[in-house]
Amino acid sequence: MDYNIAIENGIATFTINRSDVHNAINSTVMDGLKQFLDQIEDDQDIAYTVITGAGDRAFCSGGDLSEFHDLRTAEEAYPMLGAMAGLLYRVATLPMPVIALVNGTAVGGGCEIATACDYRIVSASAKAGFIQGRLAITTGWGGATLLFEKDGKHDRVFRLLSEAEVFTANQLLEAGWATEIYEGDREDGLQRFLAKMSAHHPSVHRAYKSVAIRKWTADFMRDRMLEEARQCSILWGSAAHHEAVDQFLNNK
Ligand SMILES: CC[C@@H](C(=O)O)C(=O)SCCNC(=O)CCNC(=O)[C@H](O)C(C)(C)COP(=O)(O)OP(=O)(O)OC[C@H]1O[C@@H](n2cnc3c(N)ncnc32)[C@H](O)[C@@H]1OP(=O)(O)O
């Protein structure tokens, strides 16, 4: 299975399970994420949601370039980009705290998924970056909208996106993207983080989450994420993007 869903002790976990391709997102994982969201959105017994990647090398390497490179034009790419932007809006607006357990490399759309979460608990050995610019595209899953929305520092966000660099966990902490860094076992890292939050009733976290969501619904964040996907789809159809992906796939 390309993904796993587990709901235990009030924690719902979605694991991208494609470690041979650094947990790249294909359409099966997108379907799985939709199923996961349908299952948990209205479940009052879930205190926390966690998104992570299988194995210890990668959280997620973004869209599966082997599969999605078949989408050649803006018209072909938009349904995939828009669908994923819609899913990440749903992740961002889940009624409980959502934690990205960044167990390894997160690049491209992998950073967008993590940004959609409320917290990013990052392995000390992980690296991450919005590298979409290297492929002559922008974020296509609404990640730039989310990042500008969540991080008030305009120039820092602009550079993070447009310079398309990969950063260490410490640099990500300094930049304010990583919430906390853990050493060693991911479960220990998660439990340490949750221990502080669990001192208070889950309804407190849900109440604060609803304050954040209210703002995002009022200023049409979903529409803006879809517009970002549409804009990316135009670059997706360009020769520069096709060449960059051909180069990545042919270097295998
Ligand atoms: C589509 C949505 C869009 C968005 O809206 O944001 C994006 O996500 S664009 C960004 C897409 N992602 C990338 O460009 C990342 C591509 N991958 C890499 O740069 C590197 O693989 C890595 C993640 C930095 C890891 O490098 P390394 O440790 O050297 O491993 P390999 O490169 O040898 O990878 C192992 C294996 O995995 C395959 N792989 C990795 N990422 C992807 C991917 N995104 N899609 C498809 N396949 C991927 C890679 O090709 C290797 O395969 P084999 O050679 O068959 O072993």
Range of the domain at 35: 3-184
- 83: in domain: yes
Cα of 61 vs centre of ligand 1, distance in Å, is 5
The series of mean pLDDT values per 10 residues for the chain, 252 residues long, is: 97 98 98 98 98 97 97 98 98 98 98 98 98 98 97 92 98 96 96 94 96 90 97 98 96 74
Please indicate, yes or no, if residue 228 is contained in any of the structural domains: no
95 lines ligand 1 (CB under 6 A): no
Distance CA 240, CA 110 (A): 22
Tell me if 80 is assigned to some domain: yes
Output the domain CATH number for residue 78: 3.90.226.10
**Length of the chain, please?**
252
pLDDT score, position 208:
96
Is position 160 within any domain? yes
Contact residues for 172 (Cβ-Cβ < 8 A; gap 6+): 120, 122, 128, 178
Q: Whose CA is nearest to atom 30 of ligand 1?
A: 22
Count of domains forming the chain: 1
pTM, full prediction: 0.98
- According to the model, what pLDDT value does residue 63 have? 98
Asked whether residue 23 is assigned to any structural domain, the reply reads: yes
pLDDT of the residue at 22: 98
The confidence score (pLDDT) of residue 252 equals: 63
Distance CA 31, CA 53 (A): 16
Choose which residue among 21, 30, 230 to substitute to test ligand 1 binding: the one with the highest number of ligand atoms within 8 A of its C-beta: 21
Domain membership of residue 52 (yes or no) is: yes
Q: What is the ipTM of this complex?
A: 0.98
- In a domain, residue 152? The reply is yes
Residue 154, token pair as written in the block: 């305009």
pLDDT of 109 reads 98
- Residue 124, in any domain of the structure: yes
Nearest CA residue ID for atom 34, ligand 1 = 21
Closest C-alpha to 136, from 167, 164, 114, 105: 164
